[in-house]
């Protein structure tokens, strides 16, 4: 869980989110964030199973279960959910707020700039009781190699 007002995330995990959003600038991409010790170490890409991926996201349930198993097996915890907004701001939408069922998770939103393919901007929020509060994002770099745990799969694709 994020600590205080800051979401600590490793640079390589942040880049996974940015690249995922850039790769599909016309639809919402989504994934999970896992880590331990208050630091997000891993971003896991998942399929967007929503009927209209241009405007909504729904993490494919099978992928969700598989990812949760992998996260637990590596000794980490689920810390957040990320998705992208192809059109529009980096604020959580009304739907994002209504469907935020996990008050202890960080909701990370990436936006791709209008030049399409340009750098993604990433913001993080806590959403609880129908209200969103923004976190700062702090890059937690320089973790010693092997910190992600034995044999952990760093990235699915």
**What gap in Å lies between CA 68 and CA 62, rounded to an integer?**
10
C-beta of 36: minimal distance to Zn ion in Å?
26
β-pairing, 39-46 vs 77-85, is: unpaired
Minimal distance, residue 83 CB to Zn ion, in Å: 5
Cα atoms found within 13 Å of the Cα of residue 94, Cβ hemisphere only:
0
Strands in 10-102 per DSSP E: 30-36, 39-46, 77-85
Query: Please, which residue, 8 or 83, has the CB nearer to Zn ion?
Result: 83
Closer residue to Zn ion (CB): 70 or 132: 132
96 is a contact residue toward Zn ion (CB under 5 A): yes
Candidate segments 67-75, 87-95, 129-137, 142-150, binder of Zn ion by CB under 5 A: 87-95
Q: How many C-beta neighbours within 10 Å does residue 114 have?
A: 8
93 binding Zn ion? (CB under 5 A) = yes
User: Where does this chain bind Zn ion (CB under 5 A)?
Assistant: 93, 96
């Amino acid at each position: 869980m994020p600590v205080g007002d800051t979401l600590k995330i490793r640079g390589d995990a942040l880049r996974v989110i940015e690249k995922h959003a850039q790769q599909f600038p016309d639809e919402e991409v989504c994934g999970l964030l896992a880590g331990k010790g208050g630091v997000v170490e891993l971003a896991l890409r998942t399929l967007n199973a929503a009927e209209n991926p241009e405007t909504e996201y729904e993490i494919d349930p099978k992928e969700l279960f598989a990812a949760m198993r992998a996260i637990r097996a590596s000794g980490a915890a689920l810390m957040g959910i990320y998705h992208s907004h192809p059109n529009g701001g980096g604020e959580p939408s009304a739907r994002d707020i209504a469907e935020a069922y996990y008050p202890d998770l960080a909701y990370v939103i990436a936006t791709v700039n209008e030049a399409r393919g340009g750098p993604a901007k990433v913001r993080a929020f806590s959403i609880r009781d129908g209200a969103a509060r923004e976190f700062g994002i702090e890059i937690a770099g320089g973790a010693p190699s092997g910190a992600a745990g034995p044999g952990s799969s760093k990235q699915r694709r």
